[in-house]
Amino acid sequence: MVEVQIIGTGSYLPERVLTNEEISKVVETDDEWIRSRTGIGERRISTGENTSDIAAKAAFAALENADLTPEEIDLIIVATATPDCYTPATACIVQNIIGAKNAVCFDISAACSGFIYGLNIAEQFLRGGSMKNALVIGAETLSKILDWNDRGTCVLFGDGAGAAVVKAGKEKGILANHMGSDGRGSNLLKCNAAPVEINNPILRKEVLGDRVTGSTGYLFMEGKEIFKFAVKVMEETIEKLLEKAKLNIDDIDYIIPHQANLRIIDYTIKKLNIDKEKFYVNLQNYGNTSGGSIPIALDEMNKKGLLRKGQNILMVGFGGGLTWGGTLVKWSK
Ligand code: COA
């Protein structure tokens, strides 16, 4: 039986810190509101690096931590809602930067659940036996799609990338996974691509007349609806993972939740009556980095020496789509 282990982690955060005070000079908000409603104190913002640049830096760090060369990677998955281009995939650009010439590369679009989706997809390839080592990256430059006039969203998000190297082996690693999607909520958290009717000079006049419509998108969110959805799927996903792995909550050493909002995490802690200390939280420093959030937290924990061989680590996320998912891992490094 093939088992799949996480053997390395890495992350990269742009250097530029953007504080709540600075944002309050752009939109009508203040540090107290942002901290009390979300827990966020500051975030990192790209000053020109694109998603592939920060993804590649996280990838290099993860490879070093895994003690593998880029040539040993068979698969690169980049989870991102903010790719460099419509095409090619950001994963192919990363492949070129890091020199992983033997890898098959593609992106997945699952918003803030993207890293979990990516990990679970990589697991299937590795268990199938056709590949040995995969690099799963969650990377975002959300600052380029934020509406900096919308105080309900621009205070929440940040830029950053995290990566994990996963390997097929004999020792137990990933114990359970769970994923779900509900397209009925696809309008609740979205960012439009280029509008189809604008770009064609032949049909533009015929279809639109003098009407100007659509725009390449900024992120739009129905915050309250997302909040309700988030607390529901956090609870369900944690329970599902425990059930699938035949474990109970006392067997779990750490829970790494998607770093969206402290109130969502606190709600889950209360609802499931879980020890607060089990939850790793770093959103005060980075805000919501979407696909980057869970792997950045995982890498931070790894660097701090919090992760020990044999521990059970539960990762759980949710996001636009709507999508949600989790992975339960026995730490094997
Ligand atoms: N600063 C100050 N006031 C703000 C604000 C800001 N940054 N953003 C919104 N407000 C205002 C609103 O305009 C509203 O004012 P009004 O009552 O005069 O209309 C008031 O605060 C309440 O807004 P509301 O949207 O009801 O706030 P909320 O308590 O629901 O908190 C969120 C808003 C976004 C923090 C909350 O809904 C949330 O966290 N949702 C989940 C978001 C999320 O996690 N998304 C990512 C998913 S991957």
DSSP symbols for 27-81: SS--HHHHHHHH---EEE--SS--HHHHHHHHHHHHHHHHT--GGG--EEEEE-S
Name the residue among 116, 137, 119, 127 with its Cα closest to residue 169: 127
CA-318 nearest atom, ligand 1: 48
Task: Tell me the CA–centroid distance for residue 35 and ligand 1, in Å.
Answer: 12
Residue 132 shares a structural domain with residue 22: yes
Q: Would the CB of 113 count as within 6 Å of ligand 1? A: no
CB burial string 144-183: b at 16+ within 10 A, e below:
ebbbeeebebbbbbbbbbbbbbbbbbeeebbbbbbbbeee
Determine, yes or no, domain membership for 98: yes
The residue whose CB lies within 8 Å of the most ligand 1 atoms, and thus the one to mutate among 29, 37, 288, is 37
Q: Would the CB of 220 count as within 6 Å of ligand 1? A: no
Residue 240 shares a structural domain with residue 125: no
Q: Would the CB of 185 count as within 6 Å of ligand 1? A: no
Distance CA 234, CA 225 (A): 14
Determine, yes or no, domain membership for 214: no
CA-155 nearest atom, ligand 1: 7
Residue 166 shares a structural domain with residue 240: no
Residue 179 shares a structural domain with residue 167: no
pLDDT, one tens digit for every residue, the chain (333 residues):
899 999 999 999 999 999 999 999 999 999 999 999 999 999 999 999 999 999 999 999 999 999 999 999 999 999 999 999 999 999 999 999 999 999 999 999 999 999 999 999 999 999 999 999 999 999 999 999 999 999 999 999 999 999 999 999 999 999 999 999 999 999 999 999 887 766 777 777 776 676 655 556 899 999 999 999 999 999 999 999 999 999 999 999 999 999 999 999 999 999 999 999 999 999 999 999 999 999 999 999 999 999 999 999 999 999 999 999 999 999 998
Determine, yes or no, domain membership for 213: no
- Write out the DSSP string of 217-283: ---EE-HHHHHHHHHHHHHHHHHHHHHHHT--GGG-SEEEE--S-HHHHHHHHHHHT--GGGB---H
**CA dihedral (8, 257, 226, 262) positive or negative:** negative
The residue whose CB lies within 8 Å of the most ligand 1 atoms, and thus the one to mutate among 21, 34, 189, 224, is 224
Count of domains observed in the chain: 2
Q: How many CB atoms lie within 10 A of CB 201?
A: 7
Q: Would the CB of 114 count as within 6 Å of ligand 1? A: no
Domain boundary among 141, 172, 203: 172
> What is the reported pTM?
0.95
Determine, yes or no, domain membership for 131: yes
Residue 165 shares a structural domain with residue 273: no
Name the residue among 245, 236, 240, 239 with its Cα closest to residue 329: 245
**Domain hosting residue 179, numbered range:** 175-185+219-330
Q: Would the CB of 77 count as within 6 Å of ligand 1? A: no
Atom 2 in ligand 1: residue holding the nearest Cα:
29
Residue 180 shares a structural domain with residue 128: no
Residue 97 shares a structural domain with residue 239: no
Q: Which residues are catalytic?
A: 112, 258, 288
Residue 246 shares a structural domain with residue 285: yes
Residue 224 shares a structural domain with residue 325: yes
| 53, two tokens | 């640049």
Residue 58 shares a structural domain with residue 94: yes
